[in-house]
Amino acid sequence: MATMIQIKPELEIRRFLRESWSMGWPMILIMFFQFSIGIADVYVAGFLGTDILAAVGYVGQLYWTLMILANGVTVGTVSMVSQAYGAKCNEGVGSITAHSLALGVLISGALTVLAQLYPGAIVRVAGMPEGIQSIAEDFLRVFSLVLIPTYLMIITAGVLRASGRVRLAMTNSFVAAVVNVLGDLILGFGWGPIPALGYIGIAWATAAATTTGMFLNLICMFSGPDRILPSVWMGPLPRCMKNLVKLGVPTALQQTAWNAGTLVIYFLAGQLEAGQITALAAMTAGVRVEAIIFLPVFALNMASAVLTGNRLGAGDTAGARSGAKATAALCVGIIILPALAIFAFAPHISSLLTEDPAVRDEMTRYLRVNMIGVPFLAVGITLSGALQGAGDTFGTMKIIFAGMWIFRIPLMLVVIHVLHAGALGIWWSMTISMILMCSLLALRFRGDSWIKASIDKETKTMLWEACLPEGTAASKAIGVDAESR
C-alpha cells in the first residue's frame, strides 16, 4: 500500500513535468525567434551607421512602450481563455477572443492616430537626441501604420497558446521571424532588382513581418475545430470587456513601473562618482548575455500561466498548484547549467564583447553577481506566470512594483550615496532586490488568495463566464476533433 501511494505522486510529478515541457519548449523557440529579430535589426543598423544603430535602440524602447497595453490585454486574455479551454467551453474561448480583439483594435487604433499626427512630439517627449530625431520619426511613422496588426498578432498568439495550439503559434512566429530577418537584409542592403532602402527598410521589414504574423494567426482563429463562430460577434458583453480590462490594467501598470525603473537604474549608474561610462557599458553588454537566461525563464512563465489557467478552468486547484511547482522546478533545471557556465567563464565571455580592460572587468563582476540570483529568478518568474494565469494580476503587480521601487531603487541610492560602493554596489542591489521580489512571489503562491482571483465576487462565477451569452451552458464542450490535432 505504501508503495502504491509513493508511485502515484511520482507519476503525477512526471506528468506535470511532461506537460510543462510540452508547453515550454515551443515557447522557448518563440522567444528565440523574437530574439533573432532584434539581433538582425541591430546587425543591419550597425552596418548603416552609428546614428542608425542609436536610433534603432531608442525607437525599439519606444515601440515596446506602445506594446505595453497589448501585453496587458494579452495577459488578461490568456488567463480567461485558458480557463475557458480547461472547462471545455468552445463558445467561451471564441467570445473572449472576439472581445479581446475588439479591445485591441480600439486601443491600437487610437495609438495609430496619435502617432501619425504627432510623431515629432512623441520623439521629443521620449528624450531622443536631436541628431537622430528625424530618423526616429521615420521609424515611428512606419511602425505606427501597423500598430493594429501588431496588437492583433500579439493577442491572437496568446489565444493560440492558451487554447492548446501552442505549436501553431510557434510555427507562425517562425514564419514572421523569417520574414523580418530576410526583410532586414534584403530591404536594408538591397538584393537583385530590389533597391537598398537603408534604415527605413528595417522598419518596413518589421511591418511586413507583423502583418504576416497577424494574418497567419487570424487564419488559425477562424478555421479548424476551435474556430471562432459567427455567433460570438452578435454584440459586446460589457461585463466580459470589464473583466478583460480588470485583468489587463495591472499588467500594463506593472510593465510601465518596471520599464520606468530600468531607466532610473541607467540614470543612477551614470551618477557614480567614478567609472560611470564603464558601468553603463558593462551593464549594457551584460544584459545581452543575460538574455540567454531570460529566454527560457520568460517562456516558462507564459507556459505556467496557460497550464495553471487550464487546470483551474477544469476545477483542478490541486493540480494547478502542483503543476506550477513542477514548471518552476523544470525552469531551474534548464537554466542552472547556463548560469553556472556564465559565472565560471564570465571573464572569457566579457573579453569577447569588449576589448576595454576596465569594461571587461566590470562586466565580469556584473555577470557573476547577477548569476547568483538566477535560481530565485527562475522560481519567482515562473510562479508569477501561474499567478497571472489564475487571474491574480493585481497581486503580481504589487510585488513587482515593490521589487523595483521599494527594494531595488532605494537600495541603489543607499549604496551609491551613503556607502559609496560604486558599480559593484549597484550589481548587488539588483541581485538582492531580485531575491526579495521572487521570495514575495513564492510566498504569494503558497497562500490561497490567488486561486480565488478568477472568481467574480458579485456573481460567484469565474470571470471568463461573463463572456458567455445569457443562458449558455458553460459546459458546452470543445469538439472531440480537437483531440486529434
pLDDT of residue 438: 96
Q: Rounded to 5 degrees, what angle do the CA atoms 242, 166, 443 make?
A: 60
Domain ranges within the chain, ordered by starting residue: 16-236, 248-471
Residue 178's SS3 state is helix
- The residues with which 191 forms a beta bridge, in sequence order, are 194
Neighbouring CB atoms inside 10 A of 105's CB total 16
The confidence band for 278, taking pLDDT boundaries of 50, 70 and 90, is: confident
Over 60: is that where the pLDDT of 132 sits? yes
Range among 251-255, 273-277, 278-282 rated most confident:
251-255
The confidence band for 232, taking pLDDT boundaries of 50, 70 and 90, is: low
Contact between 359 and 416 under an 8 Å Cβ cutoff? The reply is no
Average pLDDT over residues 288-317: 91
- The residues with which 462 forms a beta bridge, in sequence order, are 455
Over 70: is that where the pLDDT of 485 sits? no
pLDDT of residue 274: 64
The confidence band for 105, taking pLDDT boundaries of 50, 70 and 90, is: very high
C-alpha cell, 238:
460589457
Contact between 431 and 369 under an 8 Å Cβ cutoff? The reply is yes
Written as one string, the DSSP assignment of 34-86 is: HHHHHHHHHHHHHHH-HHHHHHHHHHHHHHHHHTHHHHHHHHHHHHHHHHHHH
The confidence band for 482, taking pLDDT boundaries of 50, 70 and 90, is: very low
Q: Which of left, alpha, beta for 476 (phi over 0: left; psi -120 to 50: alpha)?
A: beta
Helix pair 276-313, 374-389: axis angle to 10 deg:
40
**Least-confidence region, from 160-164, 177-181, 295-299, 457-461:** 457-461
pLDDT of residue 471: 53
The confidence band for 245, taking pLDDT boundaries of 50, 70 and 90, is: very high
**Which amino acid would we find at residue 339?**
A
**Least-confidence region, from 157-161, 189-193, 390-394, 418-422:** 418-422
pLDDT of residue 273: 66
Nearest to 257 by CA among 156, 436, 142, 400: 400
Spatial separation of the C-alpha atoms in residues 232 and 96, rounded to whole Å: 9
List, as own/partner pairs, every contact residues 98-103 make where C-beta atoms lie below 8 angstroms and the sequence separation is at least 24, other chains included.
98/228, 98/232, 98/233, 99/236, 99/237, 99/240, 99/241, 99/244, 99/467, 100/73, 100/74, 100/76, 100/155, 100/159, 100/244, 101/152, 101/155, 101/156, 102/236, 102/241, 103/73, 103/241, 103/244, 103/245
Return phi, psi of residue 314, to 5°. -85, 0
Q: Which of left, alpha, beta for 88 (phi over 0: left; psi -120 to 50: alpha)?
A: left
Q: Rounded to 5 degrees, what angle do the CA atoms 421, 426, 431 make?
A: 125
List, as own/partner pairs, every contact residues 41-44 make where C-beta atoms lie below 8 angstroms and the sequence separation is at least 24, other chains included.
41/184, 41/202, 41/206, 43/184, 44/184, 44/185, 44/188, 44/189, 44/201, 44/202
**Least-confidence region, from 173-182, 217-226, 308-317:** 217-226
Average pLDDT over residues 70-80: 94
C-alpha cell, 458:
458579485
Spatial separation of the C-alpha atoms in residues 21 and 275, rounded to whole Å: 43
- The residues with which 455 forms a beta bridge, in sequence order, are 462
Over 50: is that where the pLDDT of 481 sits? no
Over 80: is that where the pLDDT of 472 sits? no
pLDDT digits (tens, 9 = 90+) for 303-355: 999 999 999 999 999 999 999 999 999 999 999 999 999 999 999 988 887 77
Residue linked to cell 512566429: 173
Average pLDDT over residues 154-180: 95
Over 90: is that where the pLDDT of 126 sits? no
Residue 110's SS3 state is helix
Residues 11, 16, 17, 22, Cα dihedral to 10° = 120
pLDDT digits (tens, 9 = 90+) for 247-257: 999 999 999 99
**CA end-to-end span of the chain:** 38
pLDDT of residue 199: 86
Helices marked H in 166-275: 166-189, 199-221, 238-269
Residue 420's SS3 state is coil
Average pLDDT over residues 191-210: 90
Spatial separation of the C-alpha atoms in residues 383 and 398, rounded to whole Å: 15
DSSP type of residue 404: I
Over 60: is that where the pLDDT of 7 sits? no
Contact between 183 and 208 under an 8 Å Cβ cutoff? The reply is yes
Tell me the pTM.
Answer: 0.87
Over 60: is that where the pLDDT of 6 sits? no
